[in-house]
Amino acid sequence: MPRLVAVVAFDGISPFLLAVPQAVLGARPLRGAAYDVQVCASSPGSLPTEAGYEVTVPHGLDLLERADLVVLPSWDLTREPPADLLDAVRAAHARGARVVGLCLGAFVVAAAGLLDGREAATHWHAAEALARRHPSVRVRPDVLWSDLGDVVTSAGVAAALDCCLHVVRTDLGAHVAAEVARSLVLAPHRDGSQAQFVPVPVAPADGTDPVARAMAWAAQRLDEPLDLDTWAAHAHVSRRTLTRQFRARTGTSPSAWLLEQRLARARALLERGDEPVEVVARRSGFGSSASLRAHFARRFRTSPRQHRAAFRQE
């Protein structure tokens, strides 16, 4: 059965943020078989949006009583979340539903008490306000999303797309998430730890950008040992220059980026093939199954064999 996703709307919601869960979780490659995305509100019916037009919301908050995934796509910070919404979110979480707060939706998750003593992401512009309203929450204004397992929070707008794609990847595997990303013309994977604000987000199209050259060169050699000096030499810059420009371009270091690419390849190989874990480790650049297992445990809290069993492509 498809997972029931309850997306909570409210008066004055952004139509874009309201549409993000449907756009990703209801994307064509999933064919509606993986998720059943429904919209609800405290007062169902016709709701105004910040764009000046209305949307029709068919369900009340009782939808959360059956939901497998509850998505709070945003919130109006001039209003406190109503008690009925907070009670419904708490009850859904206690029942085992995963709760996702996109952008300012993290304020509702925090108000429900699901982030006390825990980490949360939100739009960098609202991070100070979230920390002030909920001092027990460790607010991360520097990341795209934070996944605690039962609760996921994200930064805004584009990061909300990344976060929903991360949910697909977690539920259905890297291969399915890559197909969804391709259908939506999204980057297949931006790690949650990537910086929200990247000074130069788009590489020049003329091929002169050293970071773009470095990425392209490394992506074709993930199964090989890649030290930074050799990598920088092929990009025709010094090690120091590559490191500085890489962080300016991506918000992360070359080594962190390379690790994410190798993990993505390993996940895809495990999900789609039958090669032994040792072979997968070599083909994805980890060298040994022990190294691959260590990275999987640290990054995904599972083992390569368990990942393969969970996401076997039939």
CA–centroid distance for 235 within its chain? 30
Evaluate whether 304 touches 294 at the Cβ level (below 8 Å): no
Which of 40 and 314 is assigned the larger pLDDT?
Answer: 40
Say if strands 145-147 and 151-154 run parallel, antiparallel, or are unpaired.
antiparallel
What does the mean pLDDT of the chain come to?
Answer: 87
For position 251, what pLDDT does the model report? 67
Which of 66 and 185 is assigned the larger pLDDT?
Answer: 66
Amino acid, res. 28 = R
What DSSP letter does each residue of 177-220 carry, written as one string? Answer: HHHHHHHHT--S---TTS-S--SS-S--TTS--HHHHHHHHHHT
Amino acid, res. 182 = R
Cα separation of the two ends of the chain: 17
Evaluate whether 248 touches 275 at the Cβ level (below 8 Å): no
Q: How confident is the model at residue 249 (pLDDT cuts 50, 70, 90)?
A: low
Residue with token string 């209003």: 79
Residues with Cβ within 8 Å of 186's Cβ and at least 6 positions away in sequence, in order, are: 161, 162, 165, 180
For position 200, what pLDDT does the model report? 35
Evaluate whether 71 touches 36 at the Cβ level (below 8 Å): no
Q: Taking Cα atoms as reference points, which of 54, 164, 37, 149 lies closest to residue 105?
A: 164
Residue with token string 């709701």: 47
**pLDDT higher than threshold 50 for residue 30:** yes
Q: Lowest-pLDDT range, 36-40, 145-149, 290-294?
A: 145-149
**What average pLDDT does range 126-144 have in this prediction?**
91
Residues with Cβ within 8 Å of 132's Cβ and at least 6 positions away in sequence, in order, are: none
**What average pLDDT does range 107-112 have in this prediction?**
98
pTM over the 0.75 mark: no
For position 205, what pLDDT does the model report? 41
* Angle ∠(54,38,95) on CA atoms, nearest 5: 130
Residue-wise pLDDT for 9-21, tens only, equals: 999 999 999 999 9
Q: Taking Cα atoms as reference points, which of 32, 27, 9 lies closest to residue 161?
A: 27
**pLDDT higher than threshold 90 for residue 217:** no
The percent of residues in the chain predicted with pLDDT above 70, rounded, is 90
Which of 93 and 308 is assigned the larger pLDDT?
Answer: 93
Residue-wise pLDDT for 153-210, tens only, equals: 998 878 899 899 999 988 888 888 888 888 887 765 555 444 444 333 344 444 567 8
Q: How confident is the model at residue 65 (pLDDT cuts 50, 70, 90)?
A: very high
- Distance between CA 175 and CA 64 in Å, rounded? 29
Which of 291 and 193 is assigned the larger pLDDT?
Answer: 291
Residues with Cβ within 8 Å of 34's Cβ and at least 6 positions away in sequence, in order, are: 2, 3, 25, 168, 171, 172, 176
Enumerate the β-bridge partners of residue 56: 46
Residues with Cβ within 8 Å of 135's Cβ and at least 6 positions away in sequence, in order, are: none
